[in-house]
Structure 1
């Protein structure tokens, strides 16, 4: 099997870029021939944004890659905005089946994350054109750019571009429900749920220490201000690793409160080391996450997660089994769950840790993911062969 992976990389490397790289490695370990066609927004970003509805350069670049590599299937991850939907038409013209992983909600709202001004923004789900999103400037606080993104999504919805895709891979049942309840008009048969995964870490069997851990982007939608507010008014220690627009706030709190420690940016090895020795991971996100790799990595280390109950976290975390839930943006609820965790006996905590590891082994290992991904590819290719046979 030959797979062409198409991805527009982000200016600042994030979770999607990591998933793409890891999936390519995973496929290659299965003996699959993989080639990456990569676009980016690093140069001529404004010109690429203008060509968002149909980028001719991306179209011909895709056609060339398809002709040279001759893949059996194409896997698209991100087309925003350097790739553009022109890539889909290049694939269609070449009569090759393809799948798209929906890492975010960009097809539903120009915000991409269904979040704006400190709260969920769901207005775009039910309106034919997201005028409220435009008026609010949900993309980079720009009404003009938000309008341009909205217009491109709307036009391609009207053209039926999104219906061309053989299969959409979503990361959770929650995401699948959101897309099916939207005005995209896609069928349930076009969607399949496949979670993210992480490689099994080499653990050092470190003793659990008495601190909580946060690893991730330091931004509003991640619930960082809630985390700082809770830990600044309680005795429990928290270590924070990451970077983002609220870094200065984290630094300020860590200088004022000795129980809040800022670690900065850590590499993957350092993350696993500090994960393994923490008491529990805290995840106070206030938006519809796709499928947080940090939670999967915590489970791989046998670390329970104390998380807000929203989106993918509702199903990833089973209360009183591999972690605890609190209501979104609830300072009291968050603090209570920290108390509940602190008051558990070591025997009870160890049971949670064993269950966290079981969760990883049951759902998020590379082997499980490879099986799911190859099954999706084979289903799509077989369907395409049947359709072709019917037309002959």
Structure 2
């Protein structure tokens, strides 16, 4: 059995990359692998036998630690020292990277590769292609940095700041495609969309494998598939998630919408709703609460306005037997079979979204069949077999 070191900058249930990382550790352990974890310290970090190796937390912004935060993306001595100590102790056969830029940096890929350890890297965002992670500029999709990295400075893409944008530019220059390919045995793209995007960024095709994310089937037990009269949105309340467009579309619709999540747009959105009795803000919820809310919803809406690498919320909903109305952007449409698992609409198009909500409300789906099909397609056992094949082809 291979010894596997799983790496992500955060190790608590913060976002999709963190949930995937935690579930991956559990999956590998359930199959008898000896698994270690490397992440950054944080008050919410899950306890593991390896926490003593985690480098201290850095926060990006003004303050006494700002200088250390500026240096961290380029590979600092404390990260290298802690990572080497873990490698010495654990002696992994494989290092499986996830989100590592900025707080940990790709220096750990070079360290592992330099010691003859195989390195695999699951991609959760566009950081290898875009210095600001999301291929957005002023709220619209932008891919200019695929041709010229200096555009990140020209347009002040990071926090509308020349300083922040210069740091992102130099980070991207240091961790360029050639350097990353040399220390990575295989990049794992969670969608066909991301596979094509990596190729358009001139990453070498044989270095990239497509493999959809997975779900832990145990989390989807005891679902009765009885739906109630509401639909929902689950996610961060921020501009790129499209929730403002959703609010605009539902203003005149007589259907109950439950919004789960928190974020910078929350107060503005609550004001915009203006006591609309058909819209309810529920705030942040635990997985068990989300499972109940999404499981009983007639459908969920994923109205993203950025190129999502895949869309974990949509995948989770499908495995609960809940259809998805998703924006035709990024990897989201790959999860939706029109008429069977949901529908799609043109991202940012308020009228199209409104019409499709009405159609979804009046449509009929076989919820149990949808859950059964999705759990089989995205289940952990199938994922494990495919992941082991990827490992073996490079080991």
**Given the two structures, how large is their TM-score scaled by the length of structure 2?**
0.89
Deviation at 1:206, TM superposition (A): 5.2
Taking a change above 3 Å as real, the CA distance of residues 359 and 217 of structure 1, as seen in their structure-2 partners, is farther
Equivalences for 1:168-207 in 2 at 5 Å? 168-182=187-201, 185-200=202-217, 201-205=220-224, 207=226
Equivalences for 1:140-155 in 2 at 5 Å? 140-155=159-174
Contact 1:254 1:261 in 2 (8 A): no
Secondary structure of the equivalent of 1:83? Answer: coil
- Between stretches 42-51 and 108-117, larger displacement belongs to 42-51
Structure 1: 5+ residue runs without aligned partners?
Answer: 382-392
Taking a change above 3 Å as real, the CA distance of residues 306 and 158 of structure 1, as seen in their structure-2 partners, is closer
Taking a change above 3 Å as real, the CA distance of residues 71 and 11 of structure 1, as seen in their structure-2 partners, is closer
The reply on whether 1:98 has 2:138 as its aligned counterpart is no
- Between stretches 355-364 and 312-321, larger displacement belongs to 355-364
What's the Cα RMSD here? 1.9
Query: Hey, what does 2:377 align to over in structure 1?
Result: 363
The reply on whether 1:291 has 2:310 as its aligned counterpart is yes
Aligned mates of 2:177, 2:351 — CA distance in 1: 46
Secondary structure of the equivalent of 1:160? Answer: helix
Query: Hey, what does 1:125 align to over in structure 2?
Result: 146
Aligned mates of 2:365, 2:174 — CA distance in 1: 53
Contact 2:302 2:326 in 1 (8 A): yes
Aligned mates of 2:14, 2:332 — CA distance in 1: 23
Query: Hey, what does 2:246 align to over in structure 1?
Result: 227
Equivalences for 1:289-368 in 2 at 5 Å? 289-344=308-363, 349-351=364-366, 353-368=367-382
Deviation at 1:136, TM superposition (A): 2.3
Query: Which of residues 78, 83, 87 in structure 2 aligns to 1:66?
Result: 87
Deviation by residue 1:165-209 (Cα, 9 ceiling, x = unmatched):
100011101001111111xx4211111112222223123415211
Deviation by residue 1:6-37 (Cα, 9 ceiling, x = unmatched):
22118992221111111001100011100012
Deviation by residue 1:120-144 (Cα, 9 ceiling, x = unmatched):
12111222xx222223222233221
Number of aligned residues: 372
Equivalences for 1:133-282 in 2 at 5 Å? 133-157=152-176, 160-182=179-201, 185-200=202-217, 201-205=220-224, 207-282=226-301
Contact 2:225 2:368 in 1 (8 A): no
Taking a change above 3 Å as real, the CA distance of residues 11 and 209 of structure 1, as seen in their structure-2 partners, is closer
Equivalences for 1:76-91 in 2 at 5 Å? 76-91=97-112
Contact 1:11 1:42 in 2 (8 A): no
Deviation at 1:57, TM superposition (A): 2.0
Regions of 4+ moved over 6 Å: none
- Between stretches 314-323 and 1-10, larger displacement belongs to 1-10
Secondary structure of the equivalent of 2:128? Answer: coil
Aligned mates of 2:73, 2:188 — CA distance in 1: 23
Structure 2: 5+ residue runs without aligned partners?
Answer: 42-56, 60-64
Aligned mates of 1:226, 1:10 — CA distance in 2: 32
- Between stretches 231-240 and 2-11, larger displacement belongs to 2-11
Deviation at 1:159, TM superposition (A): 6.0
Aligned mates of 2:89, 2:237 — CA distance in 1: 42
Secondary structure of the equivalent of 1:261? Answer: strand
Deviation by residue 1:94-142 (Cα, 9 ceiling, x = unmatched):
1111111111111111110112322112111222xx2222232222332
Aligned mates of 1:206, 1:8 — CA distance in 2: 36
Deviation at 1:284, TM superposition (A): 0.6
Aligned mates of 2:177, 2:357 — CA distance in 1: 49
Deviation at 1:90, TM superposition (A): 1.1
Aligned mates of 2:361, 2:94 — CA distance in 1: 50
Secondary structure of the equivalent of 1:361? Answer: helix
